[in-house]
Chains A and B, each alone.
Chain A
């Protein structure tokens, strides 16, 4: 079966749903990885992208109740519920102005008690402090919530946030689109169609965005392929997606804690299939935060061309008691990529190259990376 898929790819034909399923089911994993790596090399050569980013979560109060979420607190005042004052959020950036991030990545719970102006002021404040910084903020789930909660159309929400400084959209909240799964794990937030519609409108307004898939819980391989097919269809229509980021489900501290976590092989397989199936996506990201630095390095040989960023500050995972580093320095990221035999390229959010580092032979594990084996606990990305 893999041979037939190789022939199809060599003929320049697009993979169909049956091919996607066959790739998820193949036992020829090294063949799958080699094929994905070949496509990645054809598109990007030996380059692997990363950026310097700052993660900010301004509130974990959320009116939704996704089964996989360990982050949200239902109401303000509940133990652990936390909403930052604007000044507290801005301070996260002010503390880092000696080596400022190029991107601020903001995702939150769906807080029913904040005015819309809070979010506009939040963005304006960041821009006031660092006019050059790119604001990648609010998942489609949040944006859909804003539209419903504040009585606006999606386009109006986006227009107002763009006026306040919004630069692009992160890819969270996609989870699994198929209703057989979505209705069981996250029935009370944006549907698949609503998620896709927000991205469609954002792309039409000239914004770029990312896309994710939360895998490894109750979904089947068929659900994963359906998810990828829907993303590919929208990409064919708009061309607005930059990167696809598969996110491994982690069961700690949430409503699906009885399920096992996906294995590293499942992580690598999912990345490789994504590279092959999403032929119109430029970038497939091995998100080191959820994979752990070690598995993310291996993923760079399985079709991934991006390892995400320094993160710098991140509260969701550390709040959940994770032992993983809450950030990696730029030097650590460069060395991790070099150890994997690739050329590190620092990019901005829109994949413009900021600095090319050399590809040099670095002995594996020569760099001390804190908790490099640790696998981060994915709790929420709305």
Chain B
């Protein structure tokens, strides 16, 4: 951990959370609810990102075309700052190794990507374009490959973006699953 991160965690009174979770003692994690509204955003993000890296590693699961793992926590629909705080809160208070999904259609890919640095480790679809609209069915011609579907192009773009951030994308598609637990800003589900 960099000194600067240690410094902001210390200032926010969050260092103890690291120790508690490292010992597997989520029950000892004591964070007053107001902390998540008022604490320095970067301190919350830094703690959540450290926990994410320790507990679930660098893999980002991208779930397209079906509901995600029913055990996952899903953050959705919040505007920027609140979304980041909600993702961090889910990571800090959630079970060890929990998957924290961000609902891309309701927050947009831009902010979903930022949430991945604030504790989230999964994106849930359907795939959308830059403007947040569903991807068309079409194809584009790629030199040396011929026609490639827009969905595949999107997948490649997401892989590239995540790799640039040091993360590894794993795409999941297919069979139905039940609705996931939904974590909202006002909920205390975790």
Q: Which residues of A contact B (CB under 8 A)?
A: 2-3, 6, 27-31, 33-35, 37-38, 260-261, 263-265, 268, 292-295, 297-298, 301, 323, 339-341, 361, 363-365, 372-373, 375
Contacts and interface: CB of A to CB of B under 8 A. Distances in A.
5 contacts: A29-B117, A38-B4, A263-B113, A265-B165, A339-B81
Contacts of A31: 2, 4-5, 46
Contact of A295 (B40, B46, B49, B111): B111
Given A2-B2, A30-B42, A264-B110, A295 B8 contact: no
B110 A375 contact: yes
B117 A3 contact: no
B157 interface: yes
Dominant secondary structure of chain B at its interface with chain A = helix
8 pairs of A and B residues whose beta carbons are closest in the complex: A294-B80, A27-B166, A264-B110, A365-B79, A364-B82, A30-B46, A364-B81, A31-B2
Nearest to B80: A294
B30 interface: no
A187 B42 CA distance: 41
Contact of B45 (A30, A363, A364): A30
B81 A30 contact: no
Interface of B: 2-5, 7-8, 37-38, 40-42, 45-46, 49, 78-82, 84-85, 107-111, 113-114, 117, 130-131, 157, 161, 165-166
Contacts of B45: 30, 33
Most chain A beta-carbon neighbours within 10 Å: one of B5, B45, B81: B81
Given A33-B42, A364-B85, A264 B117 contact: no
Nearest to B58: A27
A29 B3 contact: no
B79 A364 contact: yes
Contacts of B131: 323
A365 B4 CA distance: 29
Contacts of B110: 263-264, 292, 295, 373, 375
Contacts of B165: 27, 29, 265
Contacts of B82: 364-365
Nearest to B84: A298
A265 B114 contact: yes
B63 to A, nearest CB: 20
A321 B78 CA distance: 25
A340 B81 CA distance: 7
A261 B157 CA distance: 11
Contacts of A30: 5, 42, 45-46, 49, 117
B111 A294 contact: yes
B4 A6 contact: yes
A50 B7 CA distance: 30
Contact of B42 (A34, A323, A361): A34
B187 to A, nearest CB: 15
A264 B145 CA distance: 30
Contact of B3 (A6, A292, A372): A6
Contacts of B5: 30-31, 34
B114 A298 contact: yes
A265 B130 CA distance: 15
Given A298-B81, A361-B38, A373-B79, A35 B108 contact: no
Given A364-B82, A372-B79, A34 B111 contact: no
A323 B7 CA distance: 41
Contact of B80 (A3, A35, A297, A363): A297
Nearest to B107: A373
A260 B41 CA distance: 28
B37 A363 contact: yes
A369 to B, nearest CB: 8
